[in-house]
Amino acid sequence: MSEQKRRGAALLECCQEIPCNPCATVCKTGAITKASLNARPEFHPDKCVGCKLCVAACPGQAIFLETPDYEPGKWALTFPYEYRPLPEEGQTVTAVDRLGQPVCQAVVAAVEDRPVYNKTVLVTLVFPAEHREQVRFMKRLEQEGR
């Protein structure tokens, strides 16, 4: 397995022409470019090193990091998570689709809160590869005392 494959690559779901470019601005390798401020971003997979800076920077939370074959038969997806409480590594959670509908159970492989992410936490879920087209988020955890 190549290093790039193991680290995964960005998955862009930016679907509208809106004036926005932090994805291209934070990308240090030129893997994401924009022809103009309003153009939809272009992704150059060969240049992506899976650093996840764009995942945290996108104000629309429309970029994910996808790691195929994270384990045999398993896929990993990293997405921004700005709710509390945070999940914990190793916890089993419900993975959901783009409309919040449950897809399958998933294991939290990583919870990353780096200063460079500016308070956006990145959560990585691992789940059966067959659900890779559906899974985009996790069911939010209940807040205590609410």
Partner 1 sequence: MRVTDLLVVGAGPAGLGAAIEAARLGAKVLLVDENLKAGGQLYKQIHKFFGSGAHYAGTRGFQIADILLGQAEELGVETWLDTRALGLLDDGTVAVLRKGKVEPVKAGKIILATGAKENALAFPGWTLPGVMTAGAAQTFSNVHGTLAGKRILMVGSGNVGLIVSYQLMQAGAEICALVEAAPQITGYLVHAGKIQRAGVPVYTGHTVVEARGTGEVEEAVIAQVDERFQPIPGTERALAVDTILLAVGLNPRTELAAMFRCQTTYEGALGGILPVHDGWMRSTNPDIYVCGDLAGVEEANTALEEGRLAGVHAACALGYHGEQAQEKMNALRESLRSLRGGAHALRRLSGKERVIEKGESAYV
Phi, psi (deg, nearest 5) at residue 133: -75, -25
Of residues 14 through 73, those in contact with partner 1 by CB under 8 A are 14-22, 24-26, 36-38, 57-62
**Binding segment toward partner 1, per CB under 8 A, in 43-51, 105-113, 124-132, 137-145:** 137-145
- Helix or strand (DSSP H, E) at 55: helix 53-57
Q: What residues contact residue 87 under an 8 Å CB cut-off, 6+ apart?
A: 81, 93, 108, 111, 123, 138, 141
**Residue 92 burial class via C-beta count within 10 angstroms: exposed 0-12, middle 13-18, buried 19 and up:** exposed
The residue among 3 and 119 lying less far from partner 1, judged by its C-beta, is 119
Q: Which of 5, 35, 44, 100 binds partner 1 (CB under 8 A)?
A: 100
Say whether residue 105 binds partner 1 (CB under 8 A): no
Write out the residues near partner 1 by the rule CB under 8 A. Answer: 13-22, 24-26, 36-38, 57-62, 82-84, 96-101, 118-120, 136-137, 139-140, 143, 146
